[in-house]
Amino acid sequence: MVVINDRSRDLGPFMPADDDGLIICRCEEITKGEIRRAVHDGMFNLHEVRRFLRCGMGLCQGQTCGRLVRSIVARELGTPIAQIDEATARAPMRPIEMSVFAKEVEDV
Amino acid sequence: MKRYDLIVVGAGPAGLSAAAEAAAHGLGVAVFDENSRPGGQLFKQIHKFFGSKEHKAKIRGYDIGAGLLREAEGLGVKVYLNSPVTGMYLDREIVAETDGAVSHYRADAIVVATGASENMVAFDGWTLPGVMGAGAAQTMMNINRVRPGSRVLMLGSGNVGLVVGYQLLQAGCELAAVVDAAPRVGGYGVHAAKLARCGVPFFLSHTIVKAEGETRVTGVVIGRVDETWNIVPGTQKHFDADTICVAAGLSPSTRLLLMAGCEMYEPVPGGGRLPVCDEFTGKTSVQGIYAAGDVSGIEEASSAMIEGRAAGAAAAAELGYISGGELKARLDKLETALASLREGMFAPKNRGKVFVKTDEGYDISDSLLRNGYLADGEATKYPGVKSVAGIHPVIECTQNIPCNPCQDACPKGCIKVGTNIVSLPAVDEKAGCIGCGMCVASCSGQAVFLVNEDVGGGFATVTAPYEFLPVPQKGERGVALDRSGAPVCEAEIVDVRTSPSFDRTFLLTFRVPGEQCSRARFWRREVRRFGRD
Amino acid sequence: MSATTADVIIIGAGAIGSAAAYNLTKKGLSVIVLERSGYIGNGGSSRNGGGVRQSGRDPRELPLAMYGVKNLWPSLSEELGMDVEYYQRGNLRLGKTEEHLRILRGLTQNANECGLDVRMIDAAEAREICPYLSGEVIGASWCPTDGHANPMLVTLAFYRAARRNGARFITGCEVTAIQKSRGRARRVVSSTGEIFEADSVVLVAGYDSNAVLASLGFFVPMSPLLMEVLVTEEMPPMFYQMLGTAMADFYGHQSSHGSFVFGGSSGYEAYNRNNGTPVSSSITAPSMCRAVLGYFPALSEAKIVRTWAGWIDECADHVPVIGLTDEVPGFVFGCAFSGHGFGISPVAGMLLAELAAGETTTLDVSAFAYDRFKAKI
């Protein structure tokens, strides 16, 4: 869903929290505080937070943390979570070695 | 490119059912699964299923899986194992990885039955080794035969948490507690009661504050949450534990559907996208693509199997193997079966609702929802619990769930559920119980007991289902436990029964003082193996 | 700046649009950036291989690339206040056959004629630069001043800095028309009917620019060309050169994080089905894997975690349209970057800002003028 999103709107100051050190993306070791700060830096959705911090870009491709990151971003923005799009689904569904992907065989 | 009439992605309950159904109608079908064994979650399900006969109730999950696989293979379905589907491309093309290479396949219809994955909860220490999904623990135990830990705390009181919690006990683990931030037990009361009577404490309105440990989990701190989900100061409790299982719900594995361009929606904000599809056949917005089972919305495996059948039938009709009329007849039959599973307090349409009374007007036990067990004296309020002379069934089934094997099990007609499968079972005290125990063994919730209130000498006997090893011997002395797992009296095993029709459930009969027969619901050796300290 | 008026409106929040916005804010001008999608850098800016190359460029474009490498890229992280993962470790263009070497020599000669330091090296020297090359490599061209950066971070860094300087970015705002007022491009109309006004309007919307250009009666001869990239898991540091081949069958590099990022083709990119969203094809990633492993067998066990696709706004003559036009004063072209836009994004942003501000441009942009498209005979 594309929502008109003014990136200059006031989110208020960044307020440090006790659980800012909590790791959210374990593949890339990104903390809750880093994600919250990224929002204040203008990263207003999952795509930008991923590209900015790499959370959800590791081996599991965000399948573990995606849901958590989404709720953190929504809460930080004060936006209904439904307006925060989930990540795009991209092949491969599971990590695959280059040598395997390189080898295409015809099943007969 | 190799082409099939139908490709099914995922060999779980929905996928295998779709494949078998379509193959039965004459389609050339291939099923792809990333695992080395087919069956999806079914082969991890060592418990008996709920439902009715047509839903394969009282059959254990792995037997259902084996049956489905035999059926599919017997119909000529090609099953590709160890073959993850790496992507779905335009016009129903998939790429699958098998034996160190990839191959392209096209189908005229595709059923996506990729199931769901476990949600994680982030708390202080959640990345320590020893924190795992409940489903992962189940895979370790029931597929790989590895005990996940020795003392486990379960976060989540839904059916997954409760069922896996019980299986952890069966595997010989201690279960330190079941913890849930919600104020009420989320899963079936009968599943909770199985744990509670083994002495497992429930902490509702609690959540994990932190997992302790440097290099792995050594303990857990929980705390009570207020209405805004914040920890109430001063309510923290510590448990020694080496394992934390998280059963915080499932997210449908929709990535292939997304790649295929299926239209999605999010019924519960934050709960994840689901495909917009026919709620029965799973037909999506993309021509020829169907979604079946958990990927189209989380439900039980029993529902997934019917959804799979419906998707398989719809694909058969789309490809001209059956007529519209034949499809309608088939779907009508399946729909009736599915509709009955989608009734009751736990139905998808009732998610999030709080019930204070059953359909029949009985009060729902507050103790059951908060502690996991019926409080003393509460059981007799329900139609399955009656005080009768001689041996008779006592059915502690107090919520409207879609299940009726107890009714079919009794050869004497002592038990009535009626035509509405979610009704509470009622005991007919006039129909002479012969104590055969079929009802005890048939109850997937292990909620049926046989009680004889007076066997002479001031004693009574209680017969309870038992699914632990080693099986107690006749003459063994131990203690009887009440519904909360607290010892109530000494109890001697007077009979141990099993039979093929009990399907590995043992019936333990133990003798207790007459006045304890309404409280004693479980038996334990003197050795403390699990429960409260 | 009011909510809907500014000195300059930029249409498109990609790397170049964001860079232009940043440069304009530094000049003290007010800026509104309108982006159709929900995301900053949703087009080619987050869908490219990250090359910061001069070698292999069209001679018309080379001055821009060289200016950027000399003056902008080395200090970009410092300038924007965050690491954009720029590496200036050279570009190796590899050959396995005499025919390949002939192609490489031709490219090298062209570059030298434009004053760029590129030279042919033998297999031994190539392996000294990158020890992981296949034994089949017999030579390469080598441009030591080329490099690569992280395109997603570059785009977001420009955005972040521009936003901090007061540029107002609005995503989810589709522009349907640019309207003239009193002889100048002045009004920008959104699909929801909102009207924004500015003294200058810069259009940097990739292939989608044509849809907006139509409202002014313009058309740039460009086509959407699918490009695909694959990303591996994190690997130990191996080499930081930008890589390519004589046959252009793949290009890529290892990122700071350790992932390898490779782009390539199946040969059918021009004939894909454009259904509105970039869809990777089932045959391209395997093709790229074969191409890469043919030169870097050491990567055979590297796991691919992600593939993605994007659209290149491929211009008829393969260089961008940048500049003003007498036909519509106040309007600035910035499109058809033809897949080479990222490497020159800081420069293009600088030039577009200068054009929008009415300043003399640092570099001559006459070769990129809109009116250059003439019939062939």
Q: Is the pLDDT of residue C56 over 60?
A: yes
Q: Which amino acid is at C367?
A: A
Average pLDDT score over chain C: 95
Residue B411 and residue B520 in one domain = yes
Is some CB atom of chain A closer than 8 A to the CB atom of C170?
yes
Residue B14 and residue B31 in one domain = yes
Residue B180 lies in a domain: yes
Write down which residue in C315, C333, C354 finishes a domain.
C315
Residue C274 lies in a domain: yes
Write down which residue in C315, C344, C364 finishes a domain.
C315
Residue B225 and residue B296 in one domain = no
Residue C324 lies in a domain: yes
A5 to chain C: which residues are within 8 Å by CB? 38, 170-172
A48 to chain C: which residues are within 8 Å by CB? 39-41, 156
For residue C273, give the nearest of B87, B90, B93 by CB distance.
Answer: B90
Q: In angstroms, rounded to a whole number, what is the distance separating the alpha carbons of residues B229 and B209? A: 12
Write down which residue in B319, B341, B363 finishes a domain.
B341
Residue C197 and residue C230 in one domain = no
Residues A34-59 have a mean pLDDT of 95
Banded pLDDT at C275 (limits 50, 70, 90) = low
Residue C56 lies in a domain: no
Residues C195-204 have a mean pLDDT of 98
Residue C130 and residue C158 in one domain = no
Write down which residue in B248, B269, B288 finishes a domain.
B248
Residue B371 lies in a domain: no
Write down which residue in B197, B224, B248 finishes a domain.
B248
Contacting chains of B (3 CB pairs or more, <8 Å) are A, C
Residues B190-218 have a mean pLDDT of 98
Residue B357 lies in a domain: no
Residue C199 lies in a domain: yes
C86, C346 Cβ separation under 8 angstroms: no
B258 to chain A: which residues are within 8 Å by CB? 88-89
| Residue A30 backbone phi and psi in degrees, to 5 | -105, 135
Residue B129 and residue B216 in one domain = yes
Which is it for strands B426-427 and C5-11: parallel, antiparallel or unpaired?
A: unpaired
Residue C74 lies in a domain: no
Residue with tokens 């300059």, as numbered in its chain: C8
Residue C130 lies in a domain: yes
Residue B140, domain CATH: 3.50.50.60
Q: Is the pLDDT of residue B529 over 70?
A: no
Number of domain units in chain B: 3
Is some CB atom of chain B closer than 8 A to the CB atom of C2?
no
Residue B223 and residue B257 in one domain = no
Write down which residue in C300, C315, C330 finishes a domain.
C315
Predicted pLDDT at B511: 97
Residue B236 and residue B266 in one domain = no
Residue C104 and residue C161 in one domain = no
B398, B364 Cβ separation under 8 angstroms: yes
Residue A37 burial (10 A CB sphere; 0-12, 13-18, 19+): middle
Residue B368 lies in a domain: no
Task: Give chain C as a 3 state SS string.
Answer: CCCCEEEEEEECCCHHHHHHHHHHHHCCCCEEEEECCCCCCCCHHHCCCCEECCCCCCCCCHHHHHHHHHHHHHHHHHHHCCCCCCECCCEEEEECCHHHHHHHHHHHHHHHHCCCCCEEEEHHHHHHHCCCCCCCCCEEEEECCCEECCHHHHHHHHHHHHHHCCCEEEECCCEEEEEEECCEEEEEEECCCCEEEEEEEEECCHHHHHHHHHHHCCCCCEEEEEEEEEEECCCCCCCCCEEEECCCCEEEEECCCCCEEEEECCCCHHHCCCCCCCCCCCCHHHHHHHHHHHHCHHHCCCEEEEEEEEEEEEECCCCCEEEECCCCCCEEEEECCCCCCHHHHHHHHHHHHHHHCCCCCCCCCHHHCHHHCCCCC
Residue B270 and residue B235 in one domain = no
Residue C327 lies in a domain: yes
Predicted pLDDT at C195: 97
C11, C175 Cβ separation under 8 angstroms: yes
Residue C163 and residue C41 in one domain = yes
Predicted pLDDT at A1: 61
Banded pLDDT at C1 (limits 50, 70, 90) = very low
Residue C156 and residue C303 in one domain = no
Predicted pLDDT at C41: 96
Tally C-beta pairs within 8 A across B and C.
18
Residue C177 and residue C189 in one domain = yes
Banded pLDDT at C270 (limits 50, 70, 90) = confident
Residue B277 and residue B386 in one domain = no
A23 contacts B126? CB cut-off 8 A? yes
Q: Which amino acid is at B345?
A: M
Q: How far is CA B68 from CA B293, B300, B308, B309, in A?
A: 15, 16, 12, 11
Residue B218 and residue B158 in one domain = yes
Q: Is the pLDDT of residue B272 over 90?
A: no
Number of domain units in chain C: 2
C282 contacts B95? CB cut-off 8 A? yes
Task: Name all contacts of B417-421 with Cβ < 8 Å and 24+ positions apart.
Answer: B420/B343, B420/B359, B421/B51, B421/B52, B421/B340, B421/B343
Residues B148-170 have a mean pLDDT of 98
B261 to chain C: which residues are within 8 Å by CB? 275, 277, 279
pTM of the model: 0.94
Residues B484-508 have a mean pLDDT of 96
Is some CB atom of chain C closer than 8 A to the CB atom of B90?
yes
Residue B360 lies in a domain: no
Q: Is the pLDDT of residue B530 over 50?
A: no
Residue B6 burial (10 A CB sphere; 0-12, 13-18, 19+): buried
Residue B86 and residue B146 in one domain = no
Residue C302 and residue C164 in one domain = no
Residue C252 and residue C188 in one domain = no
Domain ranges, residue C350: 5-49+152-221+317-372
Residues B15-36 have a mean pLDDT of 97
A32 to chain B: which residues are within 8 Å by CB? 122
Residue C67 lies in a domain: no
Residue C32 and residue C133 in one domain = no
What does the pLDDT look like over C280-299, one tens digit per residue? 899 999 999 999 999 999 99
Residue B15 and residue B106 in one domain = yes
Residue with tokens 């009802």, as numbered in its chain: B439
Residue C335 and residue C269 in one domain = no
Q: What percent of chain B is predicted at pLDDT more than 70?
A: 99
Domain ranges, residue B517: 378-525
Residue B256 and residue B279 in one domain = yes
Residue C283, domain CATH: 3.30.9.10
- Residue B237: CB atoms within 10 Å: 15
Q: Cis (ω within 30 of 0) for the bond into B13?
A: no
Predicted pLDDT at C337: 97
Q: CATH number of the domain at A19-102, out of 3.30.70.120, 3.40.50.9100, 1.10.10.1100, 3.40.605.10?
A: 1.10.10.1100
Structure letter (DSSP) for residue A94: S
Banded pLDDT at B237 (limits 50, 70, 90) = very high
- Residue B13: CB atoms within 10 Å: 32
Average pLDDT score over chain B: 95
Residues B378-402 have a mean pLDDT of 95
Residue C161 and residue C130 in one domain = no
Task: Please name the residues between 306 and 335 in chain C that touch chain A, using a CB distance below 8 Å.
Answer: 306-308
- Determine which of B385-389, C147-151, C156-160 has the lowest per-residue pLDDT on average: B385-389
